[in-house]
Amino acid sequence: MPTPRSAFVTGTSTGLGRAIALALARAGYGLALSELDTGWLKDLLAHPDMAARKVVPVALDLRVEASIRAAYAAAREGLGAIDLLVNNAGRALLKPVVDVAWSDWDDVIGTNLKGAYFLSQEYARDCLAQRRPGCIVSLASTHGMTGLENRSVYGISKGGIIQMTRMLAIEWAKHDIRVNAIAPTTVLTPSRERLLSDPKRREAMLARIPTGRFATEDEIAGAVIYLASPAAASITGHTLPIDGGLTAY
């Protein structure tokens, strides 16, 4: 029988994090699932796909160093070892540059980039101490690859994830720790469906995508499964756009 695999996924109560967690559960992974408040995970933990898996709910605030260390320790204790880290948790911000406050910057960059960096550091320290291979997949965005108004801080944070992916991949390749990222365009999550209920807004966003459609949660989750699999053993330092051709312009 294959060796059981385990994954730590951040930001899993809704949207992409939830879809990724369910896909990993179906693929046989034991899971540490994080949120600011573990009570938010109640519905996910009750999902039938979680029934046969070892699942550890973990409280995590990526803006706080002590929380990162405590959450990783709890995940490690619950799972025994962690084969995959998925940096999914993030905060969005839709504001003109002139209206962005210092607190906005700290909140978005602290969660999306700084927090992901230091959680990845914690994970790599564990892999190195145990002399185990590792795999990190982070959620970037096409906003980190292209320019768009009113999304400066979010785009900067995701551009940072893309460069972080390169830097960590080069430094840790000799230790067999692979580091990759996924850069989706708009993904049809339930919350995004509500935002796209305005036909004009929906048409304007679709007009930027050559394939004429948005990505699905399953497509993003499937990419995580692939990048964590033996089929991707030679892939590291790469950011995979899932964008219908948007960044091909």
Q: Given its phi and psi angles, is residue 73 left (phi above 0), alpha (psi -120 to 50 degrees) or beta?
A: alpha
Q: Which of 32, 25, 28 is nearest to 73 (CA)?
A: 32
Catalytic hit among 29, 123, 154, 226 = 154
At 71, the amino acid letter reads A
Q: How far is it, in rounded angstroms, from Cα 39 to Cα 82?
A: 23
Instruction: Show the tokens assigned to 22.
Output: 């369910």
Long-range contacts (CB closer than 8 Å, 24 or more residues apart) made by 158-162: 158/112, 158/183, 160/109, 160/112, 160/113, 161/87, 161/112, 161/113, 161/116, 162/239
Structure tokens at 89: 């948790």
123 is catalytic: no
DSSP strands (E only) in 43-161: 55-59, 84-87, 134-139
For residues 135 and 180, what is the distance between their CA atoms, to the nearest angstrom? Answer: 8
Kindly list the catalytic residues. 154
